[in-house]
Structure 1
């Protein structure tokens, strides 16, 4: 019953091999998760070349250089390793040789084109962006994001400059209107004084009219016309004054301060709320690597240990099966335990439900072990090949990295069929504390069925080996 365990005791080198194999999932996970633990927080070492050729331009009488303003802002930004150039030769060589991840050129006419914003035919400023995806595709994508950020900053700078200028002019206009209203009030007072004076003159002329009726009458008539003209002018001035005051009253609650200009230039605050909390890229990538590493460990075990060899000196199907079962069980549990302890205490991955997490890892370790060893026991080297092919298919169909919707139809078809899909989603749920489209209990049920079926096939494969002894040499 313990023949395989006794075999390991009698062969120390084989025992050392089993211990080394138990460490393979740990090593696999440590290398992959560790190498991509938090790449998006390490972009400060990625070089992005900025070639600023902007000559500047006059905008509303003020010389402005948008390229220089952008450069000043980027110097305070540590998201990337910004390198600034006036000449494009060195920067182009850097992007061609893979020394930088993005080349961004701000043309000489950037500010000049920006100055046409309020012209009849405004011109857009153009920036040139180059990346080298052939050298490093992910790096080029990240470099491209820096270019998008620069485009946004340039747009913000142009928008902010013009908004502040327009608001400044509006303030001047309001101040001018207030002065006009005051001037019209003064004119109204002066006109009223003239009208009052003319009326006094008119009264005096009436007294003088008996002395020289014709001359005085003509003067009095002219004076009356002047008085009427002044009254008409006063009336028109009052209308204009009232209209200006009404417009000023309507705009009294409208403010054109610098803070208002800043708000118009950037009016939206986006508040992003995540359903789950992910500390870093490594934590989000861990479920995929964990699932793959345990399957790789099972394949390695089957490749190194003679799983199809009968270690008993006498023929007994049940005892042979139990002997193999105990070895596979111990090897799998030890492997899963080592991996779990490493993830929790060395990598210190935050896990929402450690019990469910550990249980699913152990269950997947058992399912991988029994599935691979069953294939190997039943089909020998062909079984090992099939296990390897199964791993490869699951790498593409388990939705470990990109959403399955981005894969082709073949992998989308395999996605709900193969076990690693359920395992990855179950581990994600236990780490991040949510219930997905494939619930945790679905993964548990799938793996239990897989384990039971594998054990049944394993038992019958040993029955075949006793019935056909030559099959014991297949592996």
Structure 2
């Protein structure tokens, strides 16, 4: 009885109960891989509250700006309210012991100095907060990876709290800074008023010094004239001494001329009396002159001391101005370093604050430069004052020498007067007492010698007076020039102090306009809000891995069928190679379609996978199953058990290169090259499109690529069956027909 090959194949399946059960079981093989696995791990991240995690809090707390800071306690309180894990708060020793005993998957330790380190931000060497996370990958590797993600969230939460605390402190300091700037502005206003007074005083000093310079020039000219007269007086005294010498040598002739001299003696006596009166008048005037120069010297000393003190104070003012400039620069640097943290403050306000600070720095630099010029002018004034004092000292000494010379001149004049009187009184006895007259004449000669010495002393004093007068004139001119520089410097100082006061007021107003509250602190602590937008939505872990495990299940199901159903042995002798191929292929494709339908039912009805198109999902699943069956049929039919081994090798390569779990770029380059050759790469990509993205054009693109595989392998299988038929059965069929 002749029976068709396909009918015989189907009949053998239903007659053999074990074979039928095995094939039915194999139809559900893909569910064991895809359905059960995906069901078990459909949404593991949704059950993290069941994962035991130990928390150890060793934080001892700290103080910041007078407030108690307990970041460890705050973190524990937040974790207690969190449902991220099954947190257990435990002592350190017990926690680590239970972690090693695999009671916990991970442990979070908050160190003792956790809060203390948070207070070191503004110190030279700030310390980071060390939150210790200990996992046990040997117990479960995936839990460690989950823990890493959770720790990042905890780290972000702690960082937000710390930043919020710092932000609150910074805004408080800005308020204090505003008060400080206002006080500085008030102080600058007072400085402006003081510098205005200095400006007025410096103008008076300049005017008075100008007058002093003019008078000192006139005084110097008078001293020069007096000095010239003293020189003439010296020449006359020297001539007098020389004449007296000649008179003494001509004493012998005196007797002869005595009679003639008597008539002129009275005139000489009168002239000497007048000379004596003039010398006495000069003598009486010199103490007043000395007293005047002494007082002038005392005034000069007082002026010099005042100028010296002024110079010292101006040096202190220079140091203060430099310190003010350095302080403003430091303030600018400090606030500029804080500006990146002030993200809640509008950028315009930040720029205004930065500009105000720069103006403050420029103003303080101008004050420093001007006060330094003021100090230099004061030093010049002090130097001129010392020179003036020295010149007056020399002038006073010259006056004293002048007094001494005039005293000597007065003494000599008095002696000359007495001699002349004696000459007049004894003129009658002159001839008789010539020897006595000779002695008196000797006294006159001595007096003239003393007169010459006195005049020489007078000239020396006048030279000293002239030198001191010149120094006085030069000193007063320098004082005049220095006072002008002082006036110019005080003008700049007034302008700078006005600008300083204005800028400090502006800075105080800007800083005072910054207001903060809890919303501001939250903004600074967490300025960026992540908006999670997705091009496509994959709701859970199971949906994401469904393309990978559906492909895996269908491939394994096709491989398992080769164990319970012969891919090449016919149930009856085939009539042709094509019918032989058709009978086997029809069974395989039917089982493949049934597998695809079962998988689709479980995914859509039982696991309720939300696909973009149910018909296309079912169709693409059937295409995948038929592709895998065509490949496995060819390898097992043509090679037998070695073919099954090649199928297993092919499965391994597909599992690693299909990009069903990790991105393709993360696997070795050599495996990335294999990716494009294997069918599971396109089955996974197409299922992702039809399940998640809805890119049906991409799905069809992958479907057409998958169609290439059965076109090749089905033709190969057909060729094999035709060839085997000719080899095994062609002669037997011909013999039977004959």
Q: Normalising by structure 1, report the TM-score.
A: 0.82
Distance 2:105 2:14 in 1: 55
SS in 1 for 2:59: coil
- After TM superposition, where is structure 1 displaced by more than 4 Å over at least 4 residues in a row? 175-185, 234-244
> 1:102, 1:144 within 8 Å by CA — same for their partners in 2?
no
Distance 1:136 1:453 in 2: 44
Distance 1:49 1:316 in 2: 72
Range with bigger deviation, 63-72 or 245-254: 245-254
Give the aligned partner of residue 225 of structure 1. Answer: none
SS in 2 for 1:48: strand
Give the aligned partner of residue 311 of structure 1. Answer: 571
Residues 1:147 and 2:406 are matched in the alignment: no
Give the aligned partner of residue 439 of structure 1. Answer: 698
Deviations 1:190-226, CA, capped at 9 Å, x for gaps? xxxxxxxxxxxxxxxxxxxxxxxxxxxxxxxxxxxxx
1:370 Cα deviation after fit: 1.9
Q: Unpaired segments of 5 or more residues in structure 1?
A: 189-233, 471-475
> 1:294, 1:368 within 8 Å by CA — same for their partners in 2?
yes
Distance 2:117 2:495 in 1: 48
SS in 1 for 2:535: coil
Distance 1:314 1:117 in 2: 88
> 2:117, 2:127 within 8 Å by CA — same for their partners in 1?
yes
Distance 2:581 2:662 in 1: 41
> 2:111, 2:131 within 8 Å by CA — same for their partners in 1?
yes
1:424 Cα deviation after fit: 0.3
Q: 1:271 aligns with which of 514, 531, 546?
A: 531
Give the aligned partner of residue 334 of structure 2. Answer: none
SS in 1 for 2:53: strand
Residues 1:419 and 2:679 are matched in the alignment: yes
1:266 Cα deviation after fit: 1.3
Distance 2:495 2:639 in 1: 110
Give the aligned partner of residue 79 of structure 2. Answer: 74
SS in 1 for 2:28: helix
> 2:577, 2:726 within 8 Å by CA — same for their partners in 1?
no
Give the aligned partner of residue 41 of structure 2. Answer: 36
Distance 1:159 1:335 in 2: 58
Residues 1:389 and 2:649 are matched in the alignment: yes
Distance 2:526 2:602 in 1: 47
> 1:308, 1:380 within 8 Å by CA — same for their partners in 2?
no
Q: Normalising by structure 2, report the TM-score.
A: 0.54
Deviations 1:350-393, CA, capped at 9 Å, x for gaps? 11122322211101111111221221111111111211211111
Q: 1:362 aligns with which of 610, 617, 622?
A: 622
> 1:283, 1:349 within 8 Å by CA — same for their partners in 2?
yes
Give the aligned partner of residue 214 of structure 1. Answer: none
1:169 Cα deviation after fit: 3.2
> 1:353, 1:433 within 8 Å by CA — same for their partners in 2?
no
> 1:113, 1:125 within 8 Å by CA — same for their partners in 2?
yes
Distance 2:643 2:496 in 1: 103
SS in 2 for 1:352: coil
Deviations 1:214-265, CA, capped at 9 Å, x for gaps? xxxxxxxxxxxxxxxxxxxx99998776545422443464323332122112
Give the aligned partner of residue 49 of structure 1. Answer: 54
Deviations 1:120-149, CA, capped at 9 Å, x for gaps? 322222222211112211111111222223
More helix by share: 2
Distance 2:156 2:568 in 1: 64
Distance 1:277 1:132 in 2: 33
1:75 Cα deviation after fit: 0.9
Deviations 1:62-98, CA, capped at 9 Å, x for gaps? 221111111111111111112212x311211232233
Give the aligned partner of residue 228 of structure 2. Answer: none
Distance 1:347 1:57 in 2: 53
Q: 1:448 aligns with which of 692, 707, 715?
A: 707
1:183 Cα deviation after fit: 11
Distance 2:644 2:79 in 1: 55
Closer, same or farther: CA 243–433 of 1 in aligned 2, 3 Å: closer
Q: 1:157-236 alignment to 2 at 5 Å?
A: 157-174=161-178
Give the aligned partner of residue 215 of structure 1. Answer: none
Distance 2:574 2:514 in 1: 99
Q: 1:462 aligns with which of 721, 724, 737?
A: 721
Residues 1:59 and 2:64 are matched in the alignment: yes
Give the aligned partner of residue 32 of structure 2. Answer: 27
Closer, same or farther: CA 62–252 of 1 in aligned 2, 3 Å: closer
Residues 1:379 and 2:384 are matched in the alignment: no
> 1:106, 1:128 within 8 Å by CA — same for their partners in 2?
yes
